[in-house]
Amino acid sequence: MTEVLSNFIRALRATDVRVSTSESIDAAAALDAIGFRDRGLLKESLSQVLAKSVDEKERFSECFDRYFFAEDMSGVEQLQSEAESSQDDQPPGESQSPGGEASGEGQGQGSAEDSDELGELSNADRTELQIAVANAARQAGVSNIRLFTQRGMYMRRILEIIGVETLEEQIRDAPDAQSEQLSQRRAQLIEEVRAQVDRQLLLYTANSWPQLREQILQKTPLSSVEVRDFKFMQALVHKLAKRLVALHSRKKKIARRGQLDIRQTIRRNIEYDGLLFETVWKRKKIDRPKVIAVCDVSGSVATAARFLLLFLYSVTEVIPKVRAFAFSNQLAEITELFQNASAEEAISFALEKHGWGSTDYGRAFEDLESMVLDDVDHRTTVLVLGDGRSNYGDPGLTHLRKIHDRARRVIWLNPEPKAFWNSGDSEMRRLSTACDRVDVCRSIHDLERLVSEIMRTAV
């Protein structure tokens, strides 16, 4: 029984329902209290213990139906015992849920009967076959199946365990009439095994493809992300941003309590002749960071810029003040675009309008200095995103240094791998002298780390 439950929980996790260990213990306790007999109650109670939001409940329901059909041994027994119990102790029409099951069960039996006529196998034979296949499947460890390419391997293994070879030998040796019957039987067996493996595959890998894709995309260099993946990436960025916000937004509220600010208390109580009457407590100041993002949007860096901006504007709850600038041959502020349109639209628009020129860092930083220098103070983080390739022109170091002197920090993000820095027209070495930090920013993964760091030091 525990194996059935733990496999079910594995299947649940595969469909992206988060189940913790303590919840599995609860599930076992609930199972103890409810038992396997009443499918409706079982489903309801497990759903209450394991799925903790509305859409998790939906996924749970789907997975439950699939699993307790696929889990042949308990499934068949359960269906049978259920048939008895629903006939015995439930007056017709008393509740709706048994009706739903009854129809599911009807289907199961119906298909069994169909094959009965086709394959000249008695019903008992078929159930036996199913149970044998299920047992063999368990022995073959089919619940470890992860990829559809493993299907053939697992089918072969199950067939070997069941002993298909002896059957094949029998077919070879037997006279024609019997051999035909036997090969039909073999075909049926293979069909059954295939169905079993397919069900298991569906069960345990329902969600693994999107998960895998997510993992891969997180590490893909931004410059090589394909346009068709943009939508998915955007969703991914939102997801990561949401996580960061959840992680950091709590800190915003913390004001240190329980520590007396003696200096302030004495000062405040002077009016009461020095009697300490009113207390003042020490509070932690909440420092809201200002971020100025300057992005090179010319060809090579454009994708990275897109996702950096998307990221920054997805965490407005923690970093409320972001000014964004885009440049290729000249600099323009694009903050307003974000206020009037959704982040995605604004980014596309900005790229269209300002992108695709040849980069001129000198001019860009000169413009930047004249536009933002007054706004830069000790709380400002300046992010520059660019490859540092100035086309052999002036990289505008003096202007950047001026900003650096005022800002809390300047971080340069380069989407190129480190080995390419300082080669050709790359001016990274010189530019890095005017930055607090120079960092590679190649993938969503890097972006997340970076934004998280800005947020952490922000509080």
Nearer to another protein, 29 or 153 (CB): 29
Nearer to another protein, 38 or 416 (CB): 38
Nearest approach, Cβ of residue 22 and another protein (Å): 6
Q: Does 136 bind another protein (CB under 8 A)?
A: no
Q: Does 129 bind another protein (CB under 8 A)?
A: no
CB contact set of 140 (below 8 Å; sequence gap of 6+): 154, 157, 158, 161
Nearer to another protein, 22 or 342 (CB): 22
Residues 214-253 contacting another protein, CB under 8 A: 250, 253
Nearest approach, Cβ of residue 224 and another protein (Å): 35
Nearer to another protein, 250 or 288 (CB): 250
Residues 95-124 contacting another protein, CB under 8 A: 95-97
Among residues 18, 284, 353, 418, which is the contact residue for another protein, using CB under 8 A?
A: 18
CA-based torsion, 263, 266, 268, 270: positive or negative: negative
Q: Does 23 bind another protein (CB under 8 A)?
A: yes
Nearer to another protein, 36 or 230 (CB): 36
Nearest approach, Cβ of residue 290 and another protein (Å): 25
CA-based torsion, 56, 58, 62, 65: positive or negative: positive
Nearest approach, Cβ of residue 51 and another protein (Å): 7
Residues 384-443 contacting another protein, CB under 8 A: none
Residues 25-84 contacting another protein, CB under 8 A: 26, 29-30, 32-35, 37-38, 40-41, 44-45, 48-49, 51-54, 57
Nearer to another protein, 92 or 110 (CB): 92
Nearest approach, Cβ of residue 265 and another protein (Å): 20
Nearest approach, Cβ of residue 244 and another protein (Å): 15
Applying CB under 8 A, the span of 21-29, 102-110, 168-176, 448-456 interacting with another protein comes to 21-29
Nearest approach, Cβ of residue 38 and another protein (Å): 5
Nearer to another protein, 172 or 253 (CB): 253
What is d(CA 318, CA 244) in angstroms, rounded to the nearest whole number? 9
Instruction: Report how many residues bind another protein under the rule CB under 8 A.
Output: 30
Question: HEC string of the chain?
Answer: CHHHHHHHHHHHHHCCCCCCHHHHHHHHHHHHHHCCCCHHHHHHHHHHHHCCCHHHHHHHHHHHHHHHHHCHHHHHHHHHHHHHHHHHCCCCCCCCHHHHHHHHHHHHHHHHHHHHHHHCCCHHHHHHHHHHHHHHHHHHCHHHCCCHHHHHHHHHHHHHHHCHHHHHHHHHHCCHHHHHHHHHHHHHHHHHHHHHHHHHHHHHHCCHHHHHHHHHHHHCCHHHCCHHHHHHHHHHHHHHHHHHHHHHHHHHHCCCCCCECHHHHHHHHHHHCCCCCCCCECCCCCCCCEEEEEEECCHHHHHHHHHHHHHHHHCCCCCCEEEEEEECCCEEECHHHHHHCCHHHHHHHHHHHHCCCCCCHHHHHHHHHHHHHHHCCCCEEEEEECCCECCCCCCCHHHHHHHHHHCCEEEEEECCCHHHCCCCCECHHHHHCCCCEEEECCCHHHHHHHHHHHHHHHC
Nearer to another protein, 164 or 245 (CB): 245
Nearest approach, Cβ of residue 393 and another protein (Å): 50
Applying CB under 8 A, the span of 70-78, 94-102, 134-142, 175-183 interacting with another protein comes to 94-102
Nearer to another protein, 242 or 429 (CB): 242
Nearest approach, Cβ of residue 254 and another protein (Å): 8
C-alpha pair distances (Å), 192 with each of 19, 143, 164, 187 = 31, 16, 13, 9
Cβ atoms of 334 and 308 closer than 8 Å: no
Nearer to another protein, 51 or 376 (CB): 51
Residues 292-311 contacting another protein, CB under 8 A: none
Nearer to another protein, 78 or 205 (CB): 78
Applying CB under 8 A, the span of 23-31, 133-141, 298-306, 378-386 interacting with another protein comes to 23-31
What is d(CA 196, CA 72) in angstroms, rounded to the nearest whole number? 9
Nearest approach, Cβ of residue 25 and another protein (Å): 10
Which residue ranges make up the site for another protein (CB under 8 A)? 18, 20, 22-23, 26, 29-30, 32-35, 37-38, 40-41, 44-45, 48-49, 51-54, 57, 89, 95-97, 250, 253
